Each structure stands twice: as structure tokens, then as C-alpha cells.
A and B are shown apart, each in its own frame.
Chain A
């Protein structure tokens, strides 16, 4: 994998190509400065901060089930966006898996510092995940932030040489990846039956619905991002490689 990334550019670094690059830069820079100046002018010309949409959010906060406006927008007022975004994540993972890129075979050198750090940080990161998930109801936080922290702890484990076990790499992993969007869709259907409109949470139960969606979505987002980091689909063969490396450690 590293050798592929470091694959040399086929353009030799001769004086000729350097000249072309400098010429391109000289041509581009004035254009870019004009472009940036135009964008900056547009920003400075913007009208006063709009009132309508923020006021709409603030007026309806008591019906949203949470007290933080960003979470209310994400999970309630624009829940449709968030549902489709979870699907986008899943779609990206499907595309990455179908590309069939070679599994990364970086050997994690036995390193006491890395191992100790991983052992110490993983529980802390999981705790931070839970905190961010819970605090999202009334302060900055929520499923996406919590999911990212969870994915970070998984990436740390992966860098330390950990691989998902063969038993979990098949159906269980897929269930975890699917759980977020699936629960979201189920709740969307439930609200359709209860309120007659997709994702229109009844104000009394909105809080519970949001907590359920966010909890499952956090796990799914974390798993999806970690799987995206891994790249190749985890299979029995990639595990054998990892086990071999583990064997060398011991």
C-alpha cells in the first residue's frame, strides 16, 4: 500500500517540466487572486443575517424533543437529510469494497508505547463517545461527533495491528453497518403510521425517538468510518495475514 502511494510521478523532474510548472503558476496566480477577491467581495456584500429560518427553529424548539438547536435541526426538522446522509456513508463503503483494492499489509512493529497508548486510550475514547452522544441533546455533540470519536478509537486499534475476528467480519459487521439507517427508516415508517407524515415525530416522544436513532447511528457511523479507513473488505484471508503478524509479535 505504501509503495503504491509513493509511486513516482511519471513526469520526470527535469528542468523542462519545472519550467512548465512555474509558467502555469505565473499564469494562474493573478487569475486566482482575482477569483479570491471576487469571492471575498461577495461575502462582504452579503445582506444582514437572515431571520426567518433561525426564528422558525427557535419557535419550534419545545416540540423538537431536544434543547440544542443544531441537534434539533439534524435529527428532527431536517431528519430526512440525516437519514440520506447515513445512506451516503453506506454507499461510499459499498463503492470502496467493490473496488477490490489490495488489503493493506502494514506490519505494526511491536511497540510498547503504541500498545500502552492504545490500551489506555480506547476505553477513554469509548467513554467520550458516550458522553458526546448524550450531551448532544443540550450542547454541541451528537451522533456524528460521537461516531467520529468511536471511529478514531477503531483506527487506533487497527494501526496497532488489531483486526476484526473472522466470526464477526461477515454478517455481524454488516448488521452493525446497516443498523443506523435501518432503525432510522423503521422509525420513519412508525412516524408515518402515527402522525401520517414521514419523520414527523410526535412532540411528546420526539426525545426518545432521537435518542434511539442517535445511539444506533453512532455505532453504525463509527463502524462505517473505520471500515472506510481499512479500505479492503475484511475477509478470512486478510485476517490470516494479520494473525501471522500477530504471531511474529509473540
Chain B
């Protein structure tokens, strides 16, 4: 297995772990962290697969996409955290309503 595939599989592992965390945790902070882990997995897959062939230079287009993606992920996380704070200050707990009923 070449290094690119190895790192891409690690990225898929991160994505899956994040997905599991997103589903089983009800606290919104944990959900936001899980989404960030999923995002890191996607970035790792993109960066790794940009250089699959040994004798070719890395493809710069996915690398540029990851740079923009990271910054968008940071701002989206900040927005999500603010929404969480707002939910917490309105309802008193940082979970979504449908999870409270059960």
C-alpha cells in the first residue's frame, strides 16, 4: 500500500469516528467537535489523494481546496458554537429539543 492510500484510509477512519460521535452524543458541544473530526478526515483524504502517483508532483488544486476548507470550517465552527451558546442561554441546556423528550 502506498503512503497516499494509507493516509486516505486514516482519513476515512477519522470521518467514521466523527460520524459515530455525532450520532451518539446529545450534547451540542460534542456534536460540534464530532463534525470537526469528520472535517479533518475529509481534509486528510483530499491532501493524501492529491499525490497518488510516485513520479508525479502533487496536484495543487485539492491542496488549495483544503486551505479554503479549513478556514471555512473554522468560521462555521465559531458560528455553531455561538448558536449553541444561544440555545443554552434560551433553554438552559445545550441539547436539541427532540433529544430532551426521550
Contacts and interface: CB of A to CB of B under 8 A. Distances in A.
B13 A36 contact: yes
Contacts, number: 149
Contacts of B83: 99
B88 A5 contact: yes
Given A73-B63, A89-B71, A231-B85, 17 more contacts: A4-B85, A35-B19, A40-B9, A43-B5, A43-B9, A49-B56, A53-B59, A69-B60, A70-B67, A73-B60, A73-B64, A81-B64, A96-B78, A101-B85, A101-B86, A225-B74, A231-B82
12 contacts: A7-B92, A28-B20, A32-B16, A35-B16, A49-B59, A51-B56, A54-B57, A92-B75, A92-B79, A99-B86, A221-B71, A225-B75
Interface in A198-242: 221, 224-225, 228-229, 231
Interface of B: 5, 8-9, 12-13, 15-16, 19-20, 23-24, 26-27, 29, 45, 49, 51-53, 56-57, 59-61, 63-64, 67-68, 70-72, 74-76, 78-79, 81-83, 85-86, 88-89, 92-95, 99-100, 102
B59 A144 contact: no
